[in-house]
Structure 1
Amino acid sequence: MQRVCLALPTMRACPGTIVDLAEEAAYAVATFGAEVHLLVLDTTGEAEFAKNADAVASLAPTPGVFVHHLGDAQQRDWLRRVAEGSGAADPELLLDLMLPKGVAYGSCVNRLFLGAAALDCTSVHLRNDDFEYQVRDGEKLYPIHPELLSIGRPAGQAVAGVTRSELDPADADKRVMVVSGAFLGELNVDIGEIRELDPQVYHDLVRLWTPPAWSDEDRDAMVELSFKGVGAEPFDTDESILGVPDIWKVYMCNVALDHRAYEKLPLLPSLDTLGCDYALLHALVHSKSPGVVHNRHIVNYYTPERKVGTGFVNYQLRYVKLLLSMLYLYPVYGAMWDAGSELLDDKHELKVETILGMVRDTFGADRSGNEHCLDEVDRAYRTLGGKYAELADVVAERRQQLLDEAQQDAELWATLIEAWAPMAAAARTQGLHPAVDGAAR
């Protein structure tokens, strides 16, 4: 029996999403005989938490589905035990990296990874709180279907569960480490308004996140691909491809990962930075680990708080920090690409020490590239005018802080990588406490 973790991080009230995920969990039990632990890690305030808790309490009991809903205080107590149990010299630092005060996309997923380990699950199936399922003939299209057909299986066996195989026969004994679909709907980075206001400024801003070493043609092609998912491509029939995935076809909003991947390498614990949750996908793809891409895409939508006022400024600053983070991430991703399958050990698992060395090599990176990036951001926002000109003022005021934080984020990632294996082991030993009444739902 597969024991899996269907995982949701949230910082807002999302009772409908919780109900939907419980239905997906029940589907996995009924279709595959899996044991599913629905893990909701919730950092909302008291009123929003109560709405989510009410949704959990309303779920009909389903044999084989176990629901765990942890608020901020419960997560902090549990993570403190894990950090201390790992034997780390500075458990308080690890606690801060795992549950910081602020939005940290990598940290919230890292918590889910440790939660899956604590629940003794063999895979984690990640969902967001701002998505919907596609529907065909009145039936929701659950991504967990193609995920459970392949995740964690030897690739040679997983061939039977896909519609097409591009697997190198030499990789038949390697396990499927990642299964992913894409998304429909709005861009997965909320900058569509910029494209509507001025397509050239949009192009210039997106181009800032492409690798500077690439040719102009390749950078422009990346602009056309970025943040769009599969556009409006509707579902017709199930399609899934086994092989080494294209990095452009794996998305953290719709993905399953094997425990031999996420218990090896954590995501960046960067605050207020979009894209910092993709490092593990890069490691798996560039190491030529087998994966499956499928077409049970989710539907992405935006929540309103990021559109106006401080919500707008805060979200757009996360995009700026994404741009600055690439000075430190692209050298790592490039080194991963160059290493290829040499990034895997004799058990076909990631060589963490090798990746750690790649990260450390970026610490002294020349900041002039990021200085230029902020100059271009300033020009672009002031060209747009209005609230974007006001945003430019905020970026200018925080310029040195933003430059420093980008470097610090790389250093803190290295710290977490060093501590990660003992933390995952401690999570398995500690278990997850408390679950919702300790009961199946």
Structure 2
Amino acid sequence: MKVPILRLPITEEDAQVLGERFKSVLLSGSLTMGPQTRRFEEMFAQFSGAKHAISNASGTASLELIIRALGIQQRSIIVPTNTFAATAYAVVNTKNRVIFADSDPNTLCLDPEDVARRIEDDTAAVILVHIGGVITPAVEKLKRLCEERNLALIEDCAHAHGCSLNGAPAGTIGCAGAFSFFPTKTLTTGEGGMVVTNSDEIAEKVKIFRNHGKNPALRNKMSEPGNNYRISELTAAFGVWQMEKAEGWISQRQEIAAFYDQNIAGVAGVQPLKLPKGMVSSYYKYIAFLDEDLDRDRLKKLMQERYEVSLTGEVYADLCHTEPVWQGYTYCGMHRDGGTAVRHGWEGCTCDHPAGDFPGAAFVARRHICLPLYPDMTVEECRHVLDSLSKSIQEIRGNT
């Protein structure tokens, strides 16, 4: 039985429905910033529990728009090193400096104590990434820390569609949240992103920046050096259809995760990540930790070649501060020359200091795996995943 990394839950009937909707958009004469975009934003605002939802080109663009809306420039922003590089790029692309921080292996998310140690005089914000769709229970500590130090708390919700902690939806905990609709995400439009916020001021600024800086209050005259971060009406129509399916798909993901929870105990050498109490997850990833003696690469290769089971990508196997990009650029985006910064981003910038040690994030990067999980997986497929995982571990340990 072959179990792929990902299988999009789109049937032939779905494709026909989408084709009719795309045809309607094409015949409407409105290909951008039209009724489909407005409907998508309205539906996502309701889905996320936020007052405002503003569509844009990507999750990365969403983070950049939030940072720009907050007026943060030539400052430092703390991000976890256990994240995709786009989180750090959003900081650099808005002319700010990255400070990497460690993670708690129990949640995969930022460690508030390490964040507190890394705050500098010019620090303006903290980006909390809900890794794997997990909202850390330490979020209240992070909120208090940010309030005490006058820092903005920004949420990277790329993994957290439909997730909540103690009733608080992802994206509504900090000042704003950034979602991604990349194909691997719980909800997708192929490409695209969404900013959610309860702040009228942030929402209005994001709308201006995503549309070339056009200011409705000035009859669409340019008031800011904006950019084109818009989505097309075709993308929005796909998004509307996704929102109609969201509740059912998330429910299916939760059922599959529950099956794994109930049956993974029989697999020696693996411990599933325990979700925080009060956490509702849409299970962007089903995460488990391997015993120290097990080689992840060998395990993944064995499962794929012998049992045709493909484990999904980790979150993350390579820590952001170790990426080769930082050999050629500083943490504020300036070029290096022979390992030395040619110039800093601004006077007094300390972007050339070492990133530091991250034992918690290193543990996460080294030890975890992600089991395949998508809406139309069958019980037989899930059982095959666990069976092949168990047999592969036994073979690696020489027990077969």
TM over 0.5: no
Q: TM-score by structure 1 length?
A: 0.26
The TM-score, its normalising length taken from structure 2, stands at: 0.28
By percentage of residues, which structure has more helix? 1
